Amino acid sequence: MPKNVVLAQSGGPTCVINNSLRGLIDYCRAHPQTFGAIYAGNFGIEGVLKEELIDLGATSPEEIALLRTSPAAGGIGTCRYKLKKGQDEDYNRVVDVFKAHNVGYFFYIGGNDSQDTAHKVSLLAHERGLDLVAVGVPKTIDNDLGDSKFELLDHSPGYGSAARYIASYVRQANEENAGSCPADPVLVIQAMGRKIGFIPAAARLADPERKTPLQIYLAESGVTLERLGENVVRSLESAGRCLVVVSEGFDVGEIGAARDNFGHVQFSASQTTVCQTVVNYLNTLKFPVPGKARGQVPGTDQRNAIAYASAVDLDEAYAVGRYAAELARAGRSGSMATILRDRTTSAYCVRYDAVPLERVANSERTFPDEWISADRIDVTDAYLEYARPLIGDDWVSVPLVDGLPRFARIVKKFAPKKLGEYVPQTYREKK
């Protein structure tokens, strides 16, 4: 007897997250003897808690196919609600909902926390006599999932497209910066990835031969704002211009804070971006050329601009979704589907495998320090070798209607509710 499926997304979306969803759906639909109805949590695990289960059977195969090039999570939604240790009521509620809807398979597409949640749900389900297969699907633009040796996961689906975005962005910004001096000699670009530098690092892909005056400041670089200023002035002296890619997690430190005492703008994380702080600081310095520093914040565009999606990333996101469903069919509860790179060849070659959710949840990836250059404002060629294949070669073909991308429309038909109302635990605690 087939059992029903619940899948859910968690955290910030990516350009390719819907493609993992599509992989899961395609595989499950192809195996109706194993998988029954396919439900999606409306806005992730929150939808599961609220028993808002989107019946994906109501959405046509054509719309499911369009998920390939539909970025972000406009279809089934995602959330930042986390099931942490000790949220027993929430965990119990999830199991109640699964029991009520004859759910035998749970897929959670997300980062570290999500893999941990998937693991705990599977344990509790077993305790409470529900035969549940829980499988994780990796996702994050930050590429912080897995371990620092890339043994649990080579790279997260979503990262390749974010990397391609920043590389393209910098390549284009350089055309403007090179052609617009001396009016706007310094452009500061704020890149995502608060704690980990994989996204700003990808700026180097825009110029692997290091011909443009590009400086890259990871959160991990350990460079001060003062030093950043010195570096920029030096670049203005030698090249007349400078492109500065700065992580949103770059520590602006004492200089940014100190300016308060002189009655100037107050820099706080919540009210001023790192980009603005850097721009304002640079504009207090004496430049050796005319003109000012300007800044821009591409923001969430980094994870939803489908024009820059990496075809490699799209294909892998799909494949790892399918593979997760394959693992579930084989009863491999407690695993995350993963992407591993064959390191015995210089040809880019990946395979899909399973790793225990528990190991993923307890591991942490940092940006390899040996990939940061000696001057701390660049990355090494070893990083470029790692990242180059991930951005792919061609632009993806995206279905357009009236000149704009046509994204999948998921029909929000909910499965009939069988349980009473439930307010998620964290919500109640806030009151």
Q: How far is the CB of 305 from a second copy (least distance, A)?
A: 6
Q: How many residues in the shown chain lie near a second copy by CB under 8 A? A: 73
Q: Using alpha carbons, select from 266, 291, 247, 258 the residue that is nearest to residue 143.
A: 247
Give the number of other CB atoms < 10 A from CB of residue 113: 16
Q: Strands 3-9 and 214-217: what pairing?
A: unpaired
Site residues (CB under 8 A) for a second copy, limited to 15-44: 43
The binding track of 370-409 with respect to a second copy, each residue x by CB under 8 A or -, is ------------------x--xxxxx--x-x-xxxx-x--
> Counting contacts by CB under 8 A, is residue 255 touching a second copy?
no
Q: How far is the CB of 168 from a second copy (least distance, A)?
A: 6
Please state, in angstroms and rounded to a whole number, the distance separating the CA atoms of residues 141 and 132.
Answer: 29
Q: How far is the CB of 356 from a second copy (least distance, A)?
A: 29
* Residue in the block written with tokens 């080579």: 154
Q: What tokens appear for 40 in the block? A: 């999606």
> Counting contacts by CB under 8 A, is residue 78 touching a second copy?
yes
Catalytic residue list: 142
> Counting contacts by CB under 8 A, is residue 260 touching a second copy?
no
Site residues (CB under 8 A) for a second copy, limited to 202-241: 205-206, 208
Site residues (CB under 8 A) for a second copy, limited to 308-367: 308, 310
235/335 with CB nearer a second copy: 235
Exposure letters 315-333 (e unless 16+ CB within 10 A, then b): bbbbbbbbbbbbbbbeebb
Would you give the end-to-end CA distance of the chain in angstroms?
43
72/132 with CB nearer a second copy: 72
> Counting contacts by CB under 8 A, is residue 72 touching a second copy?
yes
10 Å CB burial of residue 426 (0-12, 13-18, 19+) is: middle
> Counting contacts by CB under 8 A, is residue 294 touching a second copy?
yes
Q: How far is CA 211 from CA 178, 207, 208, in A?
A: 12, 7, 8
> Counting contacts by CB under 8 A, is residue 171 touching a second copy?
yes
> Counting contacts by CB under 8 A, is residue 180 touching a second copy?
yes
